[in-house]
Chain A
């Protein structure tokens, strides 16, 4: 039941508990927005999903298959983690593009390395590489970057870099695509183009988790919203419930800051 189930995730750094009993679930094709003030644990939660951080406790299920269980050490094995993290794509605030590769090479690199490990790669090299390239070109076009595909990251604007990063994440065909404040590092005039492609992805029914401070965007694009506060999921519900009828005082206070300014 559900594409993603997150149950009782706990994560501490040294002695400070940063995630405290996080629970939520998602259906396929849903868009979930995570909002909350800075330091509330949003980034850490995303990083736990793709195992850049190891949760201390809790269970994560994708399509009803357990991909992490804090009580079972076998999920911490490097090979298991490498396989399971592929359920999730990740778009970082700071893009993290590979500077020595062009836009399209950034999109193709991981797929190519993956393909080279296939047993029949030598035999079908040409077709496999051809397929990877045509998929990458499709994604680049979807991001509106066809003219820019042979540019290096330093030749692109922040908004274009972030769109390359989105294409790069999509190339791995994740079940769920996660965004960590995808527009926070951008000049204000460049946020629109990135939010637009994310919105278009939502229309193609891509399952997404979006951490963002763009409240109007979150309200518009999200099916569900989670408000995080101090490591807890303080409030969750549909976009309408959380944005228009928040129950908790902390949520009202947080949203009020955005409405007034």
Chain B
């Protein structure tokens, strides 16, 4: 039986590897879902009725069902129903499936936030720009964009902090993220078994990560406080 001080480096090494996967899923989701969310929000404001309605129904379904179901369906549906296991059975395949599920899910949440941000800018801002001879794109980039960002940052911060925690849902398809890494020591791994304390350590990873993000996003919010 190893002592705690012998176990600690082994556990931390595993958790670090797991948390790297957590962070990778977090950043890939952000990079994918932010632009996709903007596109969806523009689509839901479109004049093309079929596009608008399709997107609204899609958003309703994605936001109305658990991300966990979406993960399971996206991961298993191709193999079990279409008899075409596009994801493969390895960690890379599980990551790809997780990333797709997370990007789609978060893009729908982000799109609603973007839509709120866009529609909260009074029409008078457009009109003032127009009568001063500005083009539509000048009005968007020089007048409205910063006002939108200011309104989007607080709700977006909430979603981003939730996303950090939600990445753990990928555990359901055995993605080797930080909780998966911590749980391994309960079942037994690298000579350590029946240990629950590594799970508490995973919580610390989340707390540190969300603490840093809170500071960063709070700082951005503060920076935009110079106007109303």
What is the CA–CA distance of A81 and B227 in the complex, to the nearest angstrom? 32
Q: Which residues of B contact A90 (CB under 8 A)?
A: 127-128, 131
Restricting to A137-195, which residues have a CB under 8 Å from any CB of B? 152-154, 168-169, 172
Q: Does A92 contact B (CB under 8 A)?
A: yes
Contact indicator A98/B128 (Cβ below 8 Å): yes
Interface check B187, CB cutoff 8 A: no
Give residues of chain A (69-110) contacting chain B, Cβ–Cβ below 8 Å. Answer: 82, 85-86, 88-90, 92, 94, 96-101, 109-110
- Pair B124/A96 contact, Cβ less than 8 Å: yes
Q: Contact: A92 with B146, CB < 8 Å?
A: no
Contacts of B150 in A (CB 8 A): 100
B128 touches A97 (CB 8 A): yes
A154 B127 Cβ-Cβ under 8 A = no
* B222 interface residue (CB < 8 Å to A): no
Q: Does A52 contact B (CB under 8 A)?
A: yes
Band of interface residues on A? 20 to 34
**CB <8 Å contact, B227 and A99:** yes
A152 adjacent to B132 (CB under 8 Å): no
Provide the bound-state CA to CA distance between A154 and B147, in Å: 14
Q: Chain A interface: which of B93-101, B135-143, B202-210? A: B135-143
A100 touching B127 by the CB < 8 A rule? no
Task: Name the interface size band of chain B.
Answer: 20 to 34
Q: Which residues of B contact A154 (CB under 8 A)?
A: 227-228
Which residues in A have their C-beta under 8 angstroms from that of B192? none
A116 to chain B, nearest CB (A): 9
For B142, list chain A residues within 8 Å (CB). 109, 113
User: Assuming A52-B127, A92-B127, A113-B142, is B228 touching A99 (CB within 8 A)?
Assistant: yes
B134 beta carbon closer than 8 Å to chain A: yes
Instruction: Give the residue of B125, B131, B134, B226 whose beta carbon is less than 8 angstroms from that of A52.
Output: B131
B147–A100 touching, CB < 8 Å: yes
CA distance A38 to B220 in the complex (A): 44
Tell whether, in the assembled complex, residue B133 and residue A82 are in contact, meaning their CB atoms are under 8 Å apart: yes
Q: What is the bound-complex CA distance between A57 and B37, given in angstroms? A: 42
Task: Using A100-B147, A152-B227 as known contacts, say yes or no to A113 and B134 having CB atoms under 8 A apart.
Answer: yes
B130 interface residue (CB < 8 Å to A): yes
Q: Which residue of B lies closest to A51 (CB)?
A: B130
**A residues at B contact (CB < 8 Å):** 50, 52, 82, 85-86, 88-90, 92, 94, 96-101, 109-110, 113-114, 152-154, 168-169, 172
Inter-chain pairs besides A85-B130, A154-B228, 5 sampled, C-beta below 8 Å: A52-B131, A100-B227, A109-B142, A169-B131, A169-B132
**CB<8 Å pairs between A and B, sample of 12:** A52-B127, A85-B131, A98-B143, A100-B147, A100-B226, A110-B132, A110-B133, A110-B134, A114-B133, A153-B227, A153-B228, A169-B131
